[in-house]
A and B are shown apart, each in its own frame.
Chain A
Amino acid sequence: AQTVTQSQPEMSVQEAETVTLSCTYDTSENNYYLFWYKQPPSRQMILVIRQEAYKQQNATENRFSVNFQKAAKSFSLKISDSQLGDTAMYFCAFMRYSGGGADGLTFGKGTHLIIQP
């Protein structure tokens, strides 16, 4: 079974600062994806970024980037130039896949990120 650990229950930074959210996971699988989802107060689950485990290059999406360290089973999210709208719960998630399809997502417990004006 897979486990995902987010060790920071809450973080608070000033607007425009850079912040890094940590995530570690445990698996014996070779074929998997990793994701970061954002859940603002509206409760909608919004995909932030995804990383295929077979790719060495770290994924980036505008101000969001990841540091994927496969050997260390680490998958941190960096948010640059943070904005008030980035305030949300951030969930790290793991998904195994095979020829038969993909499993459901295994989530960490989340990090509540607060961007202060």
Chain B
Amino acid sequence: DTAVSQTPKYLVTQMGNDKSIKCEQNLGHDTMYWYKQDSKKFLKIMFSYNNKELIINETVPNRFSPKSPDKAHLNLHINSLELGDSAVYFCASSQAAPLHTQYFGPGTRLTVL
């Protein structure tokens, strides 16, 4: 009965490969997010989706593409992986107003060799 789940938890791959990280929430939330946490633990928003529609797209290379097949899922596809993409990626979801509190998944540690 995990609220926000991500798969896989660990991902090790070679430079140049394409990979995906999946996220699912069973909280009935309308909005889902992707965050990146770098090696210094700094967290930064990448994307936000509301009801399957992209509403935030921060300055992220276009090798990163979010895909939302339905309200409960937001997957992250990364093409042509680079060394600098190594990080922990967190998915989160939030309910609509007035609370807006975001709940996070367990994170996916991506290592690019």
Contact = CB atoms under 8 A, between A and B. Distances in A.
Contacts, number: 60
Among all A-B residue pairs, the 9 with the closest Cβ atoms: A104-B45, A45-B104, A102-B100, A107-B43, A43-B107, A104-B48, A110-B41, A104-B56, A104-B33
Interface of A: 33, 35, 37, 39, 43-47, 50, 89, 91, 95, 97, 101-107, 109-110
B64 to A, nearest CB: 15
Interface residues of B, number: 28
Given A44-B104, A47-B101, A101 B50 contact: yes
B107 A44 contact: yes
Determine the main DSSP class of A at the interface with B.
strand
Nearest to B90: A45
A103 B48 contact: yes
B75 interface: no
B94 interface: yes
Contacts of B33: 104
